[in-house]
Amino acid sequence: MGAEQGSNQTAAGSGRAISVLIVSTLAFTVCFMVWMMFGVIGIPIKKQLGLNATEFGLLTATPVLTGSLIRVPLGIWTDKFGGRIVFFALMLACVIPIWLMSYATAYWHFLVIGLFVGLAGGSFSVGTPYVARWFPKQRQGFAMGVFGAGNSGAAVNKFVAPVLVVAFGWTMVPHVYAAVLLGTAILFWFFSHSDDRHLVASNASFMSQLKALKDPKVLKYCQYYSIVFGGYVALSLWMVQYYVGEYGLDIRVAALLAACFSLPGGVLRAIGGWLSDKYGAHSVTWWVMWVSWICLFILSYPQTDFTVMTVNGAKTFHIGLNVYAFTGLMFILGIAWAFGKASVFKYISDDYGHNIGTISGIVGLAGGLGGFILPIMFGALMDLTGVRSSAFMLMYGVVWVSLIWMYWTEVRKTEVMGAKAPASPLSRSFKH
């Protein structure tokens, strides 16, 4: 009888865990869709206001700023009060600002309202510890990967927003998104659960939690995440206008092709979590960085015409990626970063399981700040050089730094430890 009761309790707990995972992933997808809204509606707004590339970069990045800064306190509140109430309150707080976006007319209106809309981006630091604590340690990587697949909201935005923009104008998008977010919040409340055993007693302040940045490992994970998540956010915001400007595509076609990067970059995160559980966070992240380095090197090369004097006279050659090759490379990069986003958080769950909410908030903050700073830098570089692919040149340099850092702190350290380890009897017998 006792065994049967225990089995029923286990089944009920498992059912609640799956329910939490599904509804949290849905909520995060909608929040991310809202967070990336300017990636599409920013294009007609840019035309309406006559913005340059730097101003457009700031416009798209503004929501990312508050979505990043709020992540640490949200992670702390999730540890202290529970993910269910924090997630629900966060979604409700974003509904009115999203609705008001359609009434903005001046540039500063969009920037100010965008700061409030950006709160939706903080949902990641709520959902990650909330979901993880419902699963055993050996399955947390996969669970966080499934939840993180909500990043695909960036792709959903690229499917939905262009249709609304073409059919009704950009002002319809905030109205629809506000209604969808409100409905999602209500759905979340009825199908999510809470467990007091998941609460962590903490009276730590925002600044005291930031002291975790003194830990070299936390700082390193912040660097990794600023690429795989910050770069993902930045390029998700940047790609639609890149396709329009570089290849002269219609906004709907541009958004569809841009989704070839955003969709795998979100959906495949669950596979990255599974791979990280099986092979370890380091192995997955190491390969992610190398694939990123190669893709970004090729993407960095600008459209080039050069003339060579031949025996038959001058001959001009063209080197550059066509739209199909470019999209293929972006697709591969999206897959790599999907795996990387999951593997970085596997590092965190392995090393900081006791305060995963706080550490995930700090690392998420770093990733979000990357997503805020990079679009502005993309725009400034394009205004300065006139070369659109300068965005990829910048990302290439950031990945190069991470590869070096990872080699000296992880790969090289392992090699040295392996060299110092005593030889096994079998290896000694081979030497003799």
pLDDT, tens only, 347-398 = 887 877 666 767 777 887 888 888 889 999 999 999 999 999 999 999 999 9
Please give the share of the chain, as a percent, with pLDDT higher than 70: 87
Q: Please, are residues 46 and 156 in contact by the beta-carbon 8 Å criterion?
A: no
* Predicted pLDDT at 236: 87
pTM above 0.85, yes or no: no
Task: Identify the CATH class of 16-191+204-414.
Answer: mainly alpha
Cβ–Cβ < 8 Å for 94, 117 = yes
* Tens digit of each residue's pLDDT (9 = 90 or more) over 100-153: 999 999 999 999 999 999 999 889 888 888 888 888 877 777 787 788 788 888
Contacts 24+ apart (CB under 8 A), 174-177: 174/37, 174/41, 174/98, 174/99, 174/100, 174/101, 174/102, 175/99, 175/102, 177/33, 177/34, 177/37, 177/98
CA distance 307 to 300: 21
Q: Where are the domains of the chain?
A: 16-191+204-414
Helix or strand run (H / E) with residue 50 = none
Distances (CA, A) of 242 to 162, 238, 375: 15, 6, 12
3-state secondary structure 270-337: HHHHHHHHHHCHHHHHHHHHHHHHHHHHHHCCCCEEEEEEECCEEEEEEECCCHHHHHHHHHHHHHHH
Of 161-175, 198-212, 220-234, 314-328, the least confident: 198-212
Radius of gyration of the chain measured on its C-alpha atoms: 23
Q: What is the mean pLDDT of the chain?
A: 84
What is the β-pairing status of strands 313-319 and 304-310? Answer: antiparallel
